[in-house]
A and B are shown apart, each in its own frame.
Chain A
Amino acid sequence: MSLANLFKCETLLLLRNPQSWLQGLLFFTLVMFILSFVLDAKAPLFIWLAALLAQLLAVDSLFKQDYLDGSLDLLLLGESLPILIIGKIIPHLLFNLIPLLVLTLLLSMLWEFGLHVTMVLLATLTLGMPILFLLGSLGAAFTVCVRNSSLLTGIILLPFYVPALLFAASAVQNAALGLPWQGSMALLGANFILMLILCPLASAGILKVTAG
């Protein structure tokens, strides 16, 4: 299967199986609702934390169905597995990121973060979520043969998420305090490039062992 066909196929599967990406967004919405109306905790960092946890729900199923129906073997026999893994990640990322950005924008308006902080927050999510999905592919590859693996995937992934979370949190916090935030954003960007290079290769290697 070519990269373009894999992208189209995954997009169609996500459209026809919306619960695979909606559950993460519903979780995000629920956490935000509790923080906002029950705990009265309104800070940009809470949005990042909820997005991170919601992403864990979404990423666990990245290869699971392919493993169960046997199509993962066809992926493993594909010409360039790391590239095909990127082709699988991108539709999942878009289906999660776009609604998340819309919800964040609405929350930012509701919580009155101000335009500057909102823009920095959206920028960190746009740059940070791909990092989480790329890292998430590692966890999904590790646990592809494990039933009910959401918790295990989370335990494996959370330590790897720390640098991205720190850079994003630092950028958002600096923006909120009126301090320079560009340095943290640059580090987040560097982290993204590093993960874009390393994660598909590592995920391909892990999948060959776990699913092979």
Chain B
Amino acid sequence: MTLVQEITFNAAHLGCSRDEQLLFKPLSFALKSGEALIIEGPNGIGKTTLLRVLTGLLQPLCGQISCNVPIKENVAYLGPHNAVKGLLTPKEYLNYFSTFDEAVLAQLQLTGLENKTCASLSSGQKQRVALARIVLSKKPIWILDEPMTALDKQGEQIFAQLLQTHLEQKGIAIIATHHVLTENHFKKIILEP
């Protein structure tokens, strides 16, 4: 995948609410192609809500989001539930979202599991299937909520490689995570009440 268009993704004084309560201090950030933003903060501070606002699933309480491409059409979203269908095999599941690619499955070490139902896979393997969906979507904006949940050390390394490749191909990533990503050049925001 080679993304040709330079993408900018900005948020200005963005605030999110739950039960009409402001969750965290309004935040601003600016991202351009090849950059990643890591969102950190304690449980319940609103990381998931913020990601849902950034994808367009929720409206912000205040502030603005601007992007030079339509967000909905260009976003690959991984929510707190991985959206993997237990009754389908990884091959069937991935085929419904995009063109199935053996190479991506091999990269995520899912080779040999493609014809088993997702319900029979472990949590980590299901998470890898969900990550395969993100990679195969070929969308330039990744918005990921705890993408390394249930992944083992090797899985975390694989994810870091996939993320690096995505950024090298001029993609953007916004990630809420408690896990430590080794790359220290990512932008970071810590949400505060």
Residues of A within 8 A of B (CB): 1, 5-6, 8-9, 12-13, 16-17, 68-71, 73-74, 76-77, 79, 212
B: number of interface residues (CB 8 Å): 23
| Closest chain A residue to B97, Cβ basis | A1
CA A150 to CA B84, docked complex, whole Å: 25
| Closest chain A residue to B133, Cβ basis | A74
Q: Are A76 and B57 also in contact (CB < 8 A) when A1-B96, A1-B97 are?
A: yes
Q: Assess whether A70 is in contact with B79, with CB atoms less than 8 Å apart.
A: yes
B10 → chain A closest CB, angstroms: 20
Interface pairs (12), CB distance under 8 Å: A8-B96, A9-B85, A12-B87, A17-B87, A69-B81, A69-B83, A70-B79, A70-B83, A71-B85, A73-B77, A77-B55, A77-B72
CA A16 to CA B92, docked complex, whole Å: 13
At the interface, yes or no: B80 with Cβ under 8 Å from chain A? yes
Residues of B within 8 A of A (CB): 52, 55-58, 72-73, 75, 77, 79-88, 92, 95-97
When distances are taken between beta carbons in the complex, the residues of chain A under 8 Å from B88 are 9, 12-13, 16
When distances are taken between beta carbons in the complex, the residues of chain A under 8 Å from B57 are 73, 76-77, 212
Interface SS majority for chain A = helix
When distances are taken between beta carbons in the complex, the residues of chain B under 8 Å from A1 are 96-97
Q: Assess whether A74 is in contact with B81, with CB atoms less than 8 Å apart.
A: no
Q: Assess whether B79 is in contact with A6, with CB atoms less than 8 Å apart.
A: no
| Closest chain B residue to A5, Cβ basis | B96
CA A13 to CA B87, docked complex, whole Å: 6
B80 → chain A closest CB, angstroms: 7
When distances are taken between beta carbons in the complex, the residues of chain B under 8 Å from A70 are 79-83
Q: Assess whether A73 is in contact with B58, with CB atoms less than 8 Å apart.
A: no
Given A74-B97, A77-B72, 13 other A-B residues pairs in contact with their CB atoms under 8 A: A9-B88, A12-B87, A12-B88, A12-B92, A13-B88, A69-B85, A70-B82, A73-B79, A74-B77, A77-B55, A79-B72, A79-B73, A212-B52
| Closest chain A residue to B75, Cβ basis | A77
| Closest chain B residue to A9, Cβ basis | B96
Q: Assess whether B84 is in contact with A69, with CB atoms less than 8 Å apart.
A: yes
| Closest chain B residue to A68, Cβ basis | B81
| Closest chain A residue to B93, Cβ basis | A9
CA A17 to CA B87, docked complex, whole Å: 8
